[in-house]
Amino acid sequence: MCHLRLSLAFALFLYFSGSEAIARSSDNVSSQTQVKVGMVTRNFIDEKRKNWQRTGPRPLRTAVWYPAAASTKEETIFGGAPEEQVFVPVTVSPGAEISRTSGKYPLILMSHGTGGSALMMMWLGYYLASRGYIVAAVNHHGNTAAEKERAAQGFLLYWERAKDLSAVLDKLLSDPFFNSHIDRKRIGAAGFSLGGYTVISLAGGVFSPQEFASFCRSPQRDFTCEPQNEMPDAPRLFEELKKSDAVVQESLRHAGDSYRDQRIKRVFAISPALGSGFTAAGLSKVKIPVHIVIGQADKITPLATNAQRYASLIRGATLTVLPGEIGHYTFLAECTARGKKIVDVCLDAEAVDRATVHQRVAELAFEFFEQGWPRQ
């Protein structure tokens, strides 16, 4: 039942992200919103890498949120009849003209968790965009609900995700709509779960497959060592691919490389995974500011072996532990009453209000990025 409910959640996100569905006009903009939020989707590709099927270049479908001009029309996604809604509707201005209130805007690249999608993190992207940021969230090929099929390679070749964000950054800096509006001195990254690992890799952390394998053989092993619910067969399938797939074999040769992108100046990681796959030396290479947030009750990426380990080994890193019963999936999209009844990832402890947690974490992210940019 758990897997069926997870699949439903991801299927719904696939539907909305694939069709860019817009349901109806709405004037119900949050009182916290500073400016209107525009939204577009870019079907970027990375010509330097093949897709997992080896039939073409690697897809980088990316959702982008940005400050929209005040005169633009607003519409609602995740709309439809109230009795059918699973996720709380969000008001955006699709394809709107970018606001001219600032000459250039900071850019945040965003990475979703295992088997998720860009829209899973829209709550954070929307918040930042409404306060003067351009936010680009990529769907990681083979590891996202925004594709019809998942791939074992996408689940276990973790380091390919950091390359996704660097490639998307290249594309955005040459995109006719966005390039002149991006402040190249104010570029950061934010990620959730495996996306948290991804942005720490962008910051300079060097992952060690040997270190992670050793940890997973130890009594301290945690849930990150286990087959993930979104694709339980991935480890078994991957073992076969390692023997025959040239793309997999080539990627494995670069597992221990550095994926530091010098253009990234600050990193915000939410419930980051794979903390025990880094040595002290590997994390000593992170020289930029890092803020890590986690819920105290997280059982998917437990505090001690993930967020706490990252924070203790990254010099100057800030760790915020949200107290109480806040768990891993609290950081996914806000759900309706119906969603809470039928989708497992919508379930929080009774004392947890997901919207309140999102607000607090979004405020932390905004403050973190704002405090470190160079003076304009």
Q: If you average pLDDT over residues 332-338, what whole number do you get?
A: 93
Q: What is the pLDDT of residue 190?
A: 98
CA-only gyration radius of the chain, Å? 19
Q: Cα torsion at 330, 335, 340, 343 (round to 10°)?
A: -80
Taking alpha carbons only, the member of 167, 223, 198, 184 closest to residue 374 is: 184
Helices (H) and strands (E) in the chain — how many of each? 12, 11
CA distance 208 to 301: 18
Residue 293 CA to residue 272 CA, distance in Å, equals 8
Cα–Cα distance between 26 and 114 in angstroms, integer? Answer: 32
Kindly report, residue by residue over 172-230, the tens digit of the pLDDT.
999 999 999 999 999 999 999 999 999 999 999 999 999 999 999 999 999 999 999 89
What is the 8-class DSSP label of residue 76? E
Look at residue 132 and tell me whether its pLDDT is greater than 80. yes
Q: Judge residue 56's burial from the number of C-beta atoms within 10 Å of its C-beta, 0-12 exposed, 13-18 middle, 19 or more buried.
A: exposed
Whole-prediction pTM? 0.92
Letter for the amino acid at 229? N
d(CA 43, CA 74): 23
Q: What is the pLDDT of residues 140-170, one digit of tens each?
A: 999 999 999 999 999 999 999 999 999 999 9
Which among 243, 37, 215 has a CA at the least distance from the CA of 132? 37
40-71 pLDDT, tens digit per residue, is: 999 999 999 999 999 999 999 999 999 999 88
279, 183 contact by CB (below 8 A): no
Phi and psi at 359, nearest 5°, equal: -60, -45
Contact 114, 142 (CB under 8 A): no
**316-330 average pLDDT score:** 98
Q: Which residue has the higher pLDDT, 285 or 29?
A: 285
d(CA 282, CA 43): 33
How many beta carbons lie within 10 A of that of residue 370, not counting itself? 14
92 in Cβ contact with 126 (< 8 Å): yes
**Which runs of E-coded beta strand occur in 1-104?**
24-25, 37-50, 57-67, 75-77, 90-94
- Among candidates 1, 3, 51, which has minimal Cα distance to 227? 3
Please report which confidence band the pLDDT of residue 23 belongs to, taking 50, 70 and 90 as the band edges. Answer: very low
